[in-house]
Structures are given as C-alpha cells and as structure tokens.
C-alpha cells in the first residue's frame, strides 16, 4: 500500500478503524480512494491511505483518537467543491469524509436558526426553511453541491455577501471534535458568548484546528421584493467608478457584479442572456427590500449609473428577467472554459477605489505577457476573479500565466488588498501567503495551530506556509476547459 505510511502503523490504523466503522464506511482500495484524490481544484492530486465515512459524532471522535495516537494526519472533507485544494489528501493520512452527516436536525422558527449536520448542502438549508419564509444568506455559486461544513471551514461567501455577510456572520454555533477526540461547542444560541471568539477562529480555518460536526446557522426572513439593474459602459473604468459612487451614496446593494467585454462575449455566446455586445463592461446590481424602499433605491442607483456614464440601464422586475440577467454572470467561468484551452482564476480582493486602477494594470500586464484575461467579479466587495486564458500545451505558456497571476496578486496586496477573498489558501495559495504576511505573522498563525493541534495532524501543510517556503506561484488551473464540476455555476 502507500509507502509514505509505515506498514505496521498502516495495519494498526486499518484494524482499529475497522473496529469503529462498518465495512462499507472504510475505503482502502485504490479504486475506492481515487474519487477522493482531489477537490474542486483538480490540478493537485494525491491518494490518501484510507477514507473514513462515519455517520455519528462518536465515530468521528473515535477515528480522530486513533489517528492522534498513531500520529496519522486527518484531512476533513465535505462535498469536495473547494477551489484551493484545501481538501487535498495527505499522502500518509486519511480523508475523513463527512458526507453521511446530511441531515437538518432542527429548524427553530422562533429563534430563526437551524441546526444542521456538516454534510448538508448549502442550498438544501434554504430549501428546507423556505416554507417558513426564511433563508440562509451566504450563497456560494456552488451552493447546489457544496456542504455547510465546508462553507464554515472556508468562510465561504457569495454574490449576496456585500449586504448579508460571509459565513462568519451567519453562523451562531459550531460543534467541533478536537484532535484529542473531545467534542467542544463554540459560540452559542445567544448573541454573546463568554470567552474568546473561537467560533470566529474556527470559521475559515480550513480544517486545521478541529473537525466540524454540527452547525447552528442563522436564518433571515426573505426580502419582500427584488430588482436587478444592468448598466452598460463604454469604458471599464467608468463601471469601476460607478461601483464606488453607489456605495458612497449610502446604498448597500444585495449584489453588485462587474463583467468586462471578454466576459460579456463569452457568456453571451454560451447562455444568450441578451447582454449588449458593443460595450466595454456591464454592471449587475441587485437591490432588495420592501416596495417603497426598493422604488427609492432603484431611482437613486439608476441616476448614479447614468451620472457615471452608463450608456444604458435595464431594470429587470420579473423573476424570469432577473434570472436571465444573472444567468450570464453565473456561467461566466464555464463560458471562459469554452473560449480557451485552459484558464487560471485569481481571487484577490482590493479596496473599491482601486478597481479602475487595478483593471487598467491587468490590461497592461495582459499585453505584456501576450495572454488574454476575462474579468468577472464581485465588484461591490472588491473581490476580483481575473481569469487568465492560456494553453498548457504551448511550451512556456503555463509558466507565463503563473507569473502573470503572481503579479496580479502582488498588485492586490500592494494596493491594500488580500490574495484570497473567498476561495481560501488551501494548498494552492501557500506561496502567495508569503507576499502578504511577514515572519512574525506566520509564526503567530503556527502558534494558534499548535494550541489546537500540537502534533500538526489536522490537514497539515495547508493554509499557512512554512517560513522557508516562499518560491513558486499557484493558481486555479483548469485544463482544456474542464471544470471539475462543469455543471455547477461558478463565480
């Protein structure tokens, strides 16, 4: 079997895990392990020594205890839709799959919360609480497939994070199993919990501090009405200025998304959203609220867009029209995959006022490297997703792409931003972390890790680079336009 784990330890591990789990819950043969070799970022692949698929918290505790005693790494995995190789297996460790934890335990329509197991799909929560007029706000684009446990581990966000926050703002309580096998509750059902905010710490910790086994999410009443505005611009910089102007005017849209000409064309060819093809950029602005408030805001936003040189503003009232406008945006990644052999997706976030400047610099870099770029992103949050188009079969093109991507992320940090807004560091962005954090900061991160996991057994080698590692660049590599889950909408 796998050579990176001592045979004697491997045999002990399998023997002890077999005692805990029914036969079908423990995968050990290569063909069974193969589906777990990567997550949504298929550029990185490794086989684990085994995959454990428990269905009770007691089993999770027992598995972790065994691994802790034998010093075997544990990589927790939800639906495996992550985009930064956060769930990439460790070659000498097990994957702890939480897909059997797929039940919504309870819905509390008084406290507006739901207690869910980590394997529950994000969208399944909103579907389950919809009859009560409620929903769960964070909506990563992969929400039909991604699991809530993974969302907490990555602090996932979506189109509506601008107004309704990220996962960290929408979770009340999380139960974790520590590396010692202890079950610990972080947060509470109240609005203030005594002690340190370990709930915030665990959110976005990428499986490095504990295994998330239960989540209490916050539910919101659905907005009365929704409007979507689409504004077209002849200059992309004008679209960038319009974003800043809307926010500066005191309006927080539910979503505010920007697509450049290349993205518009790719999306239009793919889904026929009826986007204008002769413009440099479009801005999609979703507003929600009660009818009076909405009417006021639509009027204001419309005026701002025109003031910032929008050549046309279309207002979608009906759910069908709104879905059409969003369709192009939601399929933009897949659409990019159709016009290029490969693409490389960045996830930097920048201050809004830098949008126009950064887009201009990206255009200049694109000319310098001779590589096309498609820009489609969460403009309201300043979260960029430039897709660099390349062809891995052309010698040297991948290397230039990686250099180009690295230059974009360095630019994001330089203008006061971050290398990752929502996809996480995982295995993919370890090198870029060195650009953003200095030695004292990285040391502090390791100290936190060791407080929870002294032997570094929980998802080792992810999220925080070791001090001597600061060399090569990484990214989201898509080969021949094949997304790991091509049918999922992507942002």
Q: Is 319 in the site for other proteins (CB under 8 A)?
A: no
Instruction: Count CB-CB contacts under 10 A for residue 467.
Output: 12
For residue 409, the minimal CB distance to other proteins (Å) is 10
Query: What is the rounded CA–CA span in Å between residue 239 and residue 232?
Result: 8
Measured from the CB atom, is 5 or 425 closer to other proteins? Answer: 425
Question: 23, 82, 80, 81: which is closest to 53 by C-alpha?
Answer: 23
The 274-303 site mask, x for binding other proteins (CB under 8 A), equals ---------------xx-xx--x-------
Query: What is the rounded CA–CA span in Å between residue 429 and residue 421?
Result: 12
Measured from the CB atom, is 192 or 395 closer to other proteins? Answer: 192
Q: Which of residues 1-40 bind other proteins (CB under 8 A)?
A: none
Measured from the CB atom, is 92 or 406 closer to other proteins? Answer: 406
Residues in contact with other proteins, counted by CB under 8 A, come to a total of 91
Instruction: Count CB-CB contacts under 10 A for residue 295.
Output: 14
Q: Which two tokens stand for residue 403?
A: 């250099």
Angstrom CA distances, 336 to 163, 177, 231, 390, 471, stand at: 28, 40, 22, 11, 29
Q: Which of residues 168-207 bind other proteins (CB under 8 A)?
A: 168-169, 178, 182-186, 188-198, 200-201, 203-205
Q: Is 433 in the site for other proteins (CB under 8 A)?
A: yes
Q: Is 154 in the site for other proteins (CB under 8 A)?
A: yes
Number of H-type helices and E-type strands within the chain: 16, 19
Query: What is the rounded CA–CA span in Å between residue 18 and residue 52?
Result: 10
Measured from the CB atom, is 107 or 398 closer to other proteins? Answer: 107
Question: 357, 358, 345: which is closest to 401 by C-alpha?
Answer: 345
Determine which residue in the list 45, 309, 437, 485 makes contact with other proteins, applying CB under 8 A: 437
Measured from the CB atom, is 58 or 224 closer to other proteins? Answer: 224
3-state SS, residue 314: strand
Determine which residue in the list 450, 455, 466, 467 makes contact with other proteins, applying CB under 8 A: 450
Phi, psi of 77 (to 5 degrees): -145, 135
Measured from the CB atom, is 220 or 339 closer to other proteins? Answer: 220
For residue 239, the minimal CB distance to other proteins (Å) is 14
Q: How many Å is the maximal CA-CA distance in the chain?
A: 72
Measured from the CB atom, is 168 or 213 closer to other proteins? Answer: 168
With CB under 8 A as the contact rule, which of the stretches 232-240, 276-284, 302-310, 444-452 interacts with other proteins? 444-452
Angstrom CA distances, 182 to 144, 177, 212, stand at: 31, 5, 12
With CB under 8 A as the contact rule, which of the stretches 240-248, 276-284, 320-328, 390-398 interacts with other proteins? 240-248
With CB under 8 A as the contact rule, which of the stretches 43-51, 92-100, 250-258, 276-284 interacts with other proteins? 250-258
Determine which residue in the list 20, 350, 362, 373 makes contact with other proteins, applying CB under 8 A: 350
Phi, psi of 129 (to 5 degrees): -100, -5
Angstrom CA distances, 2 to 10, 23, 222, stand at: 9, 20, 50
For residue 277, the minimal CB distance to other proteins (Å) is 30
Q: Which two tokens stand for residue 273?
A: 């959203």
Q: Is 445 in the site for other proteins (CB under 8 A)?
A: yes
Whether 118 and 213 have beta carbons less than 8 Å apart is answered as yes
Q: Is 456 in the site for other proteins (CB under 8 A)?
A: no
Q: Which of residues 100-119 bind other proteins (CB under 8 A)?
A: 108-112
For residue 312, the minimal CB distance to other proteins (Å) is 24
Measured from the CB atom, is 13 or 350 closer to other proteins? Answer: 350
Whether 137 and 182 have beta carbons less than 8 Å apart is answered as no
| C-alpha of 171 from chain center | 16
With CB under 8 A as the contact rule, which of the stretches 99-107, 135-143, 428-436, 472-480 interacts with other proteins? 428-436
Q: Is 423 in the site for other proteins (CB under 8 A)?
A: yes
Q: Is 330 in the site for other proteins (CB under 8 A)?
A: no
Q: Is 317 in the site for other proteins (CB under 8 A)?
A: no
Check the CA dihedral 157-162-164-170 and report its sign: positive
The 64-83 site mask, x for binding other proteins (CB under 8 A), equals --------------------
Whether 171 and 177 have beta carbons less than 8 Å apart is answered as no
């Amino acid at each position: 079997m796998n050579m990176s784990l001592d045979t004697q330890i491997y045999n002990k591990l399998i023997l002890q895990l077999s005692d805990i789990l029914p036969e079908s819950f423990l995968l050990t043969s290569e063909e069974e392990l193969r589906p777990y070799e990567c997550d949504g970022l298929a550029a990185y692949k490794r086989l684990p020594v085994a995959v454990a698929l428990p269905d009770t918290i007691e089993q999770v505790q027992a598995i972790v205890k065994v691994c802790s005693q034998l010093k075997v790494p544990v990589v927790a995995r939800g639906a495996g839709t992550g985009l930064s190789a956060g769930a990439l297996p460790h070659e000498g460790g097990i994957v702890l799959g939480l897909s059997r934890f797929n039940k919504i335990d309870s819905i509390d329509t008084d406290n507006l919360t739901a207690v869910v197991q980590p394997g529950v799909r994000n969208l399944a929560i909103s579907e389950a609480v919809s009859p009560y007029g409620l929903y769960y706000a964070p909506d990563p684009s992969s929400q039909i497939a991604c699991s809530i446990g993974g969302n907490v581990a990555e602090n996932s966000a979506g189109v509506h994070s601008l107004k309704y926050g990220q996962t960290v703002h929408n979770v009340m309580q999380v139960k974790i199993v520590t590396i010692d096998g202890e079950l610990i509750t972080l947060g509470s059902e109240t609005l203030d919990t005594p002690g340190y905010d370990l709930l915030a710490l665990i959110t976005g910790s990428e499986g490095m501090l504990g295994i998330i086994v239960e989540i209490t999410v916050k539910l919101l009443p659905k907005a009365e009405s929704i409007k979507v505005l689409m504004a077209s611009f002849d200059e992309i910089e004008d679209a960038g200025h319009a974003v800043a102007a809307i926010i500066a005017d005191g309006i927080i849209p539910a979503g505010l998304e920007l697509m450049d000409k290349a993205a518009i064309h790719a999306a239009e060819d793919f889904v026929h959203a009826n986007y204008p093809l002769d413009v440099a950029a479009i801005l999609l602005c979703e507003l929600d609220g009660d009818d009076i408030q909405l009417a006021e805001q639509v009027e204001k936003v419309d005026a701002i867009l025109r003031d910032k040189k929008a050549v046309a503003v279309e207002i979608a009232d009906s759910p069908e029209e709104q879905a059409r406008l969003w369709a192009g945006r939601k399929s933009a990644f897949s659409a990019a995959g159709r016009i290029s052999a490969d693409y490389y997706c960045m996830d930097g976030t920048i201050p809004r006022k830098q949008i126009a400047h950064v887009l201009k610099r990206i255009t200049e870099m694109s000319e310098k490297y001779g590589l096309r770029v498609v820009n489609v992103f969460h403009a309201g949050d300043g979260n960029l997703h430039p897709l660099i188009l390349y062809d891995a079969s052309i010698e040297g093109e991948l290397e230039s792409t990686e250099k180009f991507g690295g230059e974009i992320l360095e630019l994001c940090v330089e203008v006061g931003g971050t290398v990752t807004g929502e996809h996480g560091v995982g295995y993919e962005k370890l090198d870029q972390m060195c650009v953003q954090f200095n030695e004292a900061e990285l040391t502090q991160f390791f100290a936190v890790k060791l407080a929870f996991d002294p032997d570094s057994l929980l998802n080792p080698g992810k999220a925080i680079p070791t001090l001597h590692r600061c060399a090569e660049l990484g990214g989201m590599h898509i080969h021949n336009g094949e997304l790991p889950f091509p049918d999922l909408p992507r942002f």
